[in-house]
Structure 1
Amino acid sequence: MRRITLGVAVTLDGFIEGPNGEYDWCFTDQDYGITEFSKQVDALVMGRKTFDTMKGYEGPSPWSHAKTYVFSRTLKAAPGVEVLSGNVLESMNHLRQQPGKDIWLFGGADLAAQFSNHNLIDEYWLSVHPILLGTGKPLFKNLADRKKLKLVESKTYATGLVSLRYQPDLAGLQTW
């Protein structure tokens, strides 16, 4: 079965966007492992708001080889993407059963929470940027319950960015 990795850039205080939807705080001075990661995936999943934001991206795309799926209740069709409007759990269980490489959950926050609430995320890859925004869109909002994770990899860059990879630790889940 294909694995799903939530891979996102996040500020130290937990935001994925500034208060006006900006992400100009994201480091783009080097690769930060994205090219290697993109070799492991052939499907990119995101929400409609993230899709709208990424349409304006002009840099080289490490995910141009991947099929793009957009979850939306309002978008009916878009060139080069498959729009999913149904149940997240059913849609992703179906997609996971299809042949292919792993799946990159690219964003946004609402979709990440739905995936997490349905235990669909096999790995959380957070690129933590050394900046505090103080306000904006938080990555993890509306989680149904506590998630215990185990660190499987960490990498620190000279810029101060820290790449963290976690997997769900269902055996280690405790109630306090």
Structure 2
Amino acid sequence: MPTSRITLYIAASVDGYIATDDGGVEWLNEFEQDTANGDITEAYEEFFDSLDCLVMGATTYEQIRGFGAWPYEDRPTYVFTHRDLPRATETVEFVDGDVDSVATELETQYDHIWLVGGAHLAREFLREHHVDELRLSVIPVLLGSGIPLFTEDHETRRLQHLDTTTYNSGIVELHYKIRT
């Protein structure tokens, strides 16, 4: 049994969307100033320092690359894709396999894995029982529509509350352990 943990650490609107209908996350820009300093930055840095590797989908990868310099330093990063994509750094690996097999392999290699997103990949990891913790930053905005983090086709999963942190910006971070 793996001793590693996979954390889904992601932001969503109050109504549960992680992006607009076209995949945009510009609505998060309003909160960038709030997250550029203070407690949120400290909490993120503490989380980031605990990581051994990152996992994300191709759309999320391309979006992050579009923001400018690669923000994840030399952390090994695995990108699920069926396409040929340019490598952001030498530590980026592209994987084209089923979630269960890849996640199981990563759990044998790394102690703490960040499942960055997107929604489809997060739902697949959850469906295959490869998410141990959920850190959900609820952003105080109602988008009305968009790409939902969760859909109606997931099974019921019990969560154990670990922590709740509120920030002056109105962001609330919920931290749960996913029960098996």
TM over 0.5: yes
Deviation at 1:79, TM superposition (A): 4.4
Counterpart for residue 145 of structure 1:
155
CA contact (8 A) 1:44 1:67 kept: yes
Q: After the TM superposition, which parts of structure 1 deviate over 4 Å for at least 4 consecutive aligned residues?
A: none
Measure, in 2, the Cα distance between the counterparts of 1:25 and 1:122: 28
- The within-5 A match list for 1:107-146 is 107-141=117-151, 143-146=153-156
In the alignment, which of 107, 115, 119 is matched to residue 105 of structure 1?
Answer: 115
1:17-46 deviation per Cα after TM superposition (whole angstroms, max 9, x unaligned): 012222122222225221110001021100
Measure, in 2, the Cα distance between the counterparts of 1:155 and 1:60: 27
CA contact (8 A) 1:110 1:141 kept: no
- The within-5 A match list for 1:25-36 is 25-26=27-28, 27-29=31-33, 30=35, 32=40, 33-36=43-46
Code of the residue aligned with 1:72 in structure 2: it is: T
- Answer yes or no: is 1:160 the counterpart of 2:160: no
1:64-92 deviation per Cα after TM superposition (whole angstroms, max 9, x unaligned): 23111100122366343101101111111
- By percentage of residues, which structure has more helix? 2
Counterpart for residue 19 of structure 1:
21
Counterpart for residue 87 of structure 1:
98
Report the number of matched residues.
168
1:82-136 deviation per Cα after TM superposition (whole angstroms, max 9, x unaligned): 01101111111111101x4410000000000000001100100001000000011
Counterpart for residue 8 of structure 1:
10
The alignment partner of 2:66 has SS state of: coil
Measure, in 2, the Cα distance between the counterparts of 1:7 and 1:15: 14
Code of the residue aligned with 2:18 in structure 1: it is: I
The alignment partner of 2:61 has SS state of: helix
**Cα-Cα RMSD:** 1.8
Counterpart for residue 68 of structure 2:
58
Measure, in 2, the Cα distance between the counterparts of 1:47 and 1:90: 16
Measure, in 2, the Cα distance between the counterparts of 1:74 and 1:103: 23
Measure, in 2, the Cα distance between the counterparts of 1:105 and 1:23: 18
Q: How high is the TM-score relative to the length of structure 2?
A: 0.86
CA contact (8 A) 2:9 2:134 kept: yes
**Unmatched runs of 5 consecutive residues or more in structure 1:** 171-176
